[in-house]
Structure 1
Amino acid sequence: MKNSSTNLSDNMEGFRDEKNDYSSYEISFRRWLVSEVDSGRMSVAEAREKFKLPHRFDKTYKHWQAKYSDEIHLSLQLMSAKERTNTKALEKRIKELEKQLELAQMKNVALNTMIDIAENDYKLEIRKKSGPKQ
């Protein structure tokens, strides 16, 4: 038996750690790819296959995602018929409340105008004075 002092790492020519230059990808492509994966229109594996990205792209993608992803992800699903009906009812209620608010604001302006006229014309003190002595 021959005693050799070779290490496993001495015979690793075919297993070199190749560095991929991801900086050659435009920022617009990076943003687009992140948005596609985040929205679920494409998976990282599909992106790897489609754009011939190396297997180690997952780590780079995580970096891109942290850098280029929107902070808020909105994935809106289609509404059911019941939800749409409920939405219509809620919109109708909102319109009614907006009308009531507008009327209340007009009433408030009218009352304040009446108080101003009464205080000026009739020299009445209707509004409370601010401060400790009133």
Structure 2
Amino acid sequence: MKEDQGNRYIKRTQKDYTMSFKLQIVQEIEKGSRSISEVTKEYGIQSHSTVLNWLRKFGNFDWENQIPTTMTKSPEQKVMELEAKVKLLEKQKSLLEHQAFVADKKAIIFDMMIDLAEKEYKIDIRKNSSPEQSTILKSKNTKQ
């Protein structure tokens, strides 16, 4: 029998998993976005009980009383959560800066197109004139 090289099982130890990886898994399960079995299959975690141990150690669920509690987080956990939030906010900031840049460029291009159309067809496309323009027009009309 040939073994499928893509689906080979890799034996791991607890030392193979970083603290941030464990906390990420716990967070995904507690949010409800994934089940324990989905996580073990996707990330190649050795067993179901490994994830349960992580949930007991790092999760917000009181396993003895079977009620969710807000456990105090270790300084390492807090730092890791804050670092993740900073990365997310930096990504959002760069995305918004890019969108603002694109919007500014579009506004400039649209203004140029309107100016060009006004010159070519000799019509006023912009209906709303600025206060400075309206006072100039009034002064021209009164002089005539």
Structure number with higher relative contact order (C-alpha < 8 Å, ≥ 6 residues apart):
1
Fold equivalence (TM over 0.5): no
Question: Which TM-score tier does this pair reach, normalised by the shorter chain?
Answer: 0.3 to 0.5
Name whichever structure is richer in helix by fraction: 2
TM-score (norm 1): 0.38
Larger Rg, first or second structure (1 or 2): 1
